[in-house]
Structures are given as C-alpha cells and as structure tokens.
C-alpha cells in the first residue's frame, strides 16, 4: 500500500511496517521538532501527547530521527529493537512499539487498526495514554532498561 502525503513525501507501509518507510530527499527532517512542525495541527497535538506518554514512562529516553520519523531510544546507542517510533498521518498517528509489546497488549488494542509491530491511533478519538505508558514500561522491562 502506498500513501502519498504530498508530492515530496511518499511512505510505503505494507502491513504498517515502518521498516519499509521511504522518504524522498526533499523532506528530510533535521529534528523531531521540525518533523512535528510539518504536521497539521491535530496530528502535531497528538504526536506531542504520544511523545509525552513515552517520556513519562521512560524519562531517560533519547530523542532521535529514525527512517526520518521521531524515535525514542530506551537504551542509548542501541538499535531499533530498543526504540519506540511515532509518525503522523492525515487521520491517525502511528505508534511502533515492537511486536512483543503488541502481542502482550493485543486485547487492550483490539479496537485499533494494528500491524505486527504497530498500532494506529485515530485523530478523532482520545489517545489511550495510560495504555501507552504501560506499553513503554513493559518494553523497558523486557530490555532491562531503566
């Protein structure tokens, strides 16, 4: 499935897999803030709320861009396995916690569109903040991160 957000920004996300994200060179972001600022207001607001949930559970997480989207590393310098990634879209925000976390919280996430390692939170519904915090804490415990 291909989704064109604008003429310079193309995302290819089969089954919501972030590993297949392709972004054109014209929209390479230099910071998470720049990525957020490029979003429509409602998407930006929800991304900020999602970021706050991650940092509430993992205040030492370091912010970076991975695949040109915001990511929060639970273990400094570790690979994508120890990161939460988030992305903004026209009608939802994507949260990419890891397949093991998705499996653990499958029942709580049943009302959302999901992929193997991702979930979509629609912009027209409140973000399940407590659930997101619990997902981050769960993944941190699996990784032995503090």
Residue-wise pLDDT tens digits, 70-118: 999 998 766 677 899 999 999 999 999 999 999 999 999 999 999 989 9
H and E: helices and strands count for the chain: 4, 8
Q: Out of 12-26, 40-54, 98-112, 119-133, which region has the weakest mean confidence (pLDDT)? A: 12-26
Confidence of residue 25 (pLDDT cuts 50, 70, 90): very low
- pTM summary value: 0.80
Please choose, from the candidates 65, 68, 84, the residue with its C-alpha nearest in 3D space to the C-alpha of residue 140. Answer: 84
The first and second tokens of residue 58, run together, are 């993992």
């Amino acid at each position: 499935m291909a989704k064109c957000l604008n003429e310079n920004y193309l995302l290819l996300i089969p089954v919501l897999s972030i590993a297949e994200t392709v972004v054109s060179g014209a929209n390479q972001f230099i910071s998470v803030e720049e990525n957020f600022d490029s979003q429509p207001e409602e998407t930006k607001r929800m991304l900020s709320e999602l970021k706050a949930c991650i940092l509430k559970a993992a205040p030492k997480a370091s912010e970076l861009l991975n695949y040109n989207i915001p990511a929060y590393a639970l273990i400094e310098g570790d690979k994508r396995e120890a990161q939460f990634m988030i992305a903004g879209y026209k009608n939802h925000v994507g949260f990419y916690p890891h397949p093991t976390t998705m499996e653990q919280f499958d029942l709580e996430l049943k009302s959302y569109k999901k992929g193997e390692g991702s979930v979509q939170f629609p912009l027209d519904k409140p973000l399940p903040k407590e659930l997101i915090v619990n997902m981050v804490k769960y993944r941190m415990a699996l990784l032995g991160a503090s």
